[in-house]
Amino acid sequence: MASNSTTQFFALSQSFSISDIIIIAAYFLLNVAVGIWSSCRVSRNTLSGYFLAGRDMAWWPIGASLFASSEGSGLFIGLAGTGAAGGIAVAGFEWNTVCLFQIVTMPEYLGRRFGGERIRTYLSVLSLMLSVFTKISTDLYSGALFVQVCLGWNLYLSTVLMLVVTALYTIAGGLAAVIYTDTLQTFVMIIGAIILTITAFNKIGGYSNLERVYQAAIPSKIIPNSSCHLPREDAMHLFRHPVTGDLPWPGMTLGLTILATWYWCTDQVDITSNPAKNLSHAKGASILASYLKMLPFIFIILPGMISRALYPDSVGCVDPEECVRVCGAEVGCSNIAFPKLVIELMPSGLRGLMIAVMMAALMSSLTSIFNSSSTLFTMDIWKKYRAYASERELLLVGRIVTVILVVISVVWIPILQSANSGQLYVYIQSVTSYLAPPVTAVFSLAIFWTRTNEQGAFWGLMVGLVVGVCRMVLEFAFPPPRCGIQDDAPSVLRSVHYLHFAIILCFLSAAVVMVISLLTPPPTEEQVRNLTWWTLTQEEEGEIPLQKVSSISSAPVRRAVCGRGAGLCSSAEGPAEEVPLPRIPSVRESVFWSRFCCVNAILLICVNIFLYAYFA
């Protein structure tokens, strides 16, 4: 068989060396040391200054931060896995970038645009849902998968290890450690990915041989009378059939644009990563991040395809018993594509460093998500109904919420593991397609249609949520069957791709918003002045004051919370300072930098058009 010859050509096997173990241990000790040092440092910043960095940062660190926040080690696994399973089409998710519209945060913008609290409360609840379904559970699964591939442990034992080590990491360093280590970890991951890509291409004889060896990557154990063991014939094509394609081209254009608009323009992780000093720097950061988003195709997706070519019996397995033996999932093991390459191809020492960095990045990501999710619940939901709650009560509630989120995420892992044929990245995008489009619809109408009011926005979100959750429940109730098993799902579930569903859901939500807005009183003058595309120049002043919609925006930062819990540092809290309300800097730009950004934006669009046309 073709797979036998492929396996003979690329029979590779390596195990952990002593140098790998030493480097992993040393790296984690370094992280703990940095965490302790940063936890004990004295700081008098406020939360608004901490999270938005005083809105005085230049374009290049913001652009790097935007890229880093969107390319965690979980996506290394997800992108490589989907590349191994279906080819290069998943690169469209990385290339479909959207220039950011500078705001403080999306809830703050909608708070001023519409007023009231119920939309903000809903967005907080939605953020918690997305944290569980697409962030905490996927990060836990990704980290556990790395441990499983490296040490051969059971997936759930690996998950417990991840939670224990993350808890120690948090106690020793907390979020302060994340600030000092994330940039280094991202840099090392990219360098490691470059080395891994070069090594992988050398193993198959270069890019010219990629399609040949990928199409020959057939596992030795197959399911009779089925074709699921065969690589896709359109693996090297970006645009695929609108009905039968795994990533149909209408969904990859319009549907993906809807998801990208939500991710880049409204997701809290990326909005709070853009504290630019002015509009030119915000544009420059967006353009830099867009350029960087072209790299994962070369350094993650193509290595994923090579991984299937090198190891078809493990990465490309289809027999349920064989897949359970390899990775513990009956539906497939494409998610192990990237860690498998790291283990087998990276040289001793560098292999250990790469694994340590990716694990540390996962743990810092989990720490950030735990903190932001618990803060979101306590300050935006709990404190709203218990306005006089003590600090001790809020801290206790935050810890309880963190535990609950972790438990739900761990329970969710088996569903995640079997969803979408075991492809982690497709799972993330499908869940986003069920929950995010209504937010995109409301956000877009809030900017471009001055008649949009609070009633229309709220009920548009509610209708979209009900429809999206119904589709998500059906998707998980009828997961794609494993190879050779009859599909009993309703025909409408399989006939409407999740990216096509995102288009339908977005337009449905927009229609509800428009109808209800037209049937109810229009927004006030203050709710549209300088807050829509058409009224942006109505304000005479250079800066636009933003109302205080966050209960923590000007609260003093409590230092060394995690370190104090471990008995490492003394409790200290800076004096409450009078902090001015957040302000959106001037939208005026110098002629040179405005033209410079426009030229680069046009160049970026041209490069994207070329890539789409070349790989279409």
- pLDDT band at 359, cuts 50/70/90? confident
**539: exposed, middle or buried (Cβ count in 10 Å: 0-12, 13-18, 19+):** middle
Name the phi and psi angles at 96, rounded to 5. -80, 80
What pLDDT sits at residue 580? 47
Q: What integer is the mean pLDDT of 584-606?
A: 75
Q: What pLDDT was estimated at residue 262?
A: 82
Kindly report the three-state secondary structure assignment for every residue of 370-436. HHHHHHHHHHHHHHHHCCCCCHHHHHHHHHHHHHHHHHHHHHHHHHHHHHHHHCHHHHHHHHHHHHC
Which two three-digit tokens encode residue 141?
Answer: 């699964």
| pLDDT attached to residue 588 | 61
Nearest-Å Rg of the Cα atoms of the chain is: 24
pLDDT band (50, 70, 90) for residue 416: confident
AA identity, residue 21 = I
Which tops the pLDDT comparison, 167 or 78? 78
Please indicate whether residue 38 or residue 333 has the higher confidence score (pLDDT): 333
What confidence tier does 203 reach under pLDDT thresholds 50, 70, 90? very high
* 106 pLDDT tier (thresholds 50, 70, 90): low
Q: Is the pLDDT of residue 558 over 70?
A: no
Dist. CA 552–CA 559, nearest whole Å: 15
Confidence of residue 556 (pLDDT cuts 50, 70, 90): very low
- Quote the mean pLDDT of the chain: 76
Partners of 545 in the β-ladder? 583
3-state helix vs strand vs coil in the chain, percent to 5: 70, 0, 30
- Measured CA to CA, the distance from residue 8 to residue 362 in angstroms comes to 35
pLDDT at residue 564 tops 70: no
Taken as a whole, the chain contains a residue count of 616
Lowest-pLDDT choice from 291-305, 356-370, 566-580: 566-580
Write out the DSSP string of 488-520: -S-HHHHHS-HHHHHHHHHHHHHHHHHHHHHHS
Check whether 241 has a pLDDT greater than 80.
yes
Burial of 125 (0-12, 13-18, 19+ CB in 10 A): middle
User: What tokens does 551 get?
Assistant: 């209960």
**Residues in contact with 410: Cβ distance below 8 Å, sequence separation at least 6, in sequence order:** 137, 140, 156, 159, 163
Domains and CATH numbers, the chain: 2-425 (1.20.1730.10)
Are 181 and 360 contacting, i.e. CB atoms less than 8 angstroms apart?
yes
What the block records as the tokens of 383 is 């404190």
pLDDT at 201: 94
pLDDT on residue 433: 94
Under a CB-based contact definition with an 8 Å cutoff, are residues 324 and 18 in contact? no
**Separation between Cα atoms, residue 272 and residue 438, nearest integer Å:** 21
461, pLDDT greater than 90: yes
Assign 44 to helix, strand or coil.
coil
Least confident of 161-165, 416-420, 513-517: 416-420
SS (H, E, C) 176-203: HHHHHHHHHHHHHHHHHHHHHHHHHHHH
The pLDDT of residue 182: 61
Residue 120, C-beta contacts closer than 8 angstroms, at least 6 positions apart: 107, 110, 111, 380, 549
Q: What pLDDT does 611 receive?
A: 86
pLDDT (0 to 100) of residue 519: 95
Is the pLDDT at 296 greater than 80? The verdict is yes
Instruction: Give φ, ψ of 590 to 5 degrees.
Output: -70, 150
DSSP 8-class letter at 566: T
Place of tokens 């290339």: 95
What are the backbone dihedrals phi and psi of residue 18, each rounded to the nearest 5 degrees, phi first? -60, -40
Amino acid at 232: R
476-529 pLDDT, tens digit per residue, is: 888 877 777 777 888 888 889 999 999 999 999 999 999 999 999 998 888 888
Q: Rounded mean pLDDT of 302-312? A: 94
Instruction: Report the 10 Å Cβ neighbour count for 611.
Output: 16
* pTM, rounded to two decimals: 0.79
CA–CA separation, 512 and 364 (whole Å): 40
Residues 6 or more apart whose CB falls under 8 angstroms from that of 396 comprise none
Residue of 108 and 305 predicted with greater confidence: 305
Q: How far apart are CA 417 and CA 138, in angstroms?
A: 9
Confidence of residue 570 (pLDDT cuts 50, 70, 90): very low
For β-strands 583-584 and 558-559, DSSP reports them as: unpaired
Q: Residue 230: CB partners within 8 Å, gap ≥ 6?
A: 218
Q: Report the pLDDT value the prediction gives residue 546, as an integer from 0 to 100.
A: 45
CA distance 93 to 206: 25
pLDDT classification of 540: cutoffs 50, 70, 90: very low
The CB density around residue 444, as the number of other CB atoms within 10 Å, is 20
pLDDT of residue 437: 95
Split at pLDDT 50, 70, 90, the class of 39 is low
CB 475 within 8 A of CB 493: yes
Give pLDDT, residue 127: 83
- Among 203, 201, 195, 162, which Cα is nearest to 354's? 195
Which pLDDT score is estimated for 362? 75
Neighbours of 212 (CB within 10 A): 13
Backbone angles phi, psi at 568, to 5 degrees: -95, -30
Top pLDDT among 550 and 132 is at 132
DSSP notation for 444-482: HHHHH-TT--HHHHHHHHHHHHHHHHHHHHHHHHSPPPP
Beta carbons within 10 angstroms of residue 519's beta carbon = 10
* Residue 204 pLDDT level (bands cut at 50, 70, 90): very high
Choice between 164 and 443, residue whose per-residue pLDDT is larger: 443
User: Contacts by 521-527 with C-beta closer than 8 Å and gap 24+?
Assistant: 521/453, 522/451, 522/453, 523/113, 523/114, 523/450, 523/451, 523/452, 523/453, 523/454, 524/115, 527/112, 527/113, 527/114, 527/115, 527/453
- In the structure, what pLDDT confidence band is assigned to residue 563 with cuts at 50, 70 and 90? very low
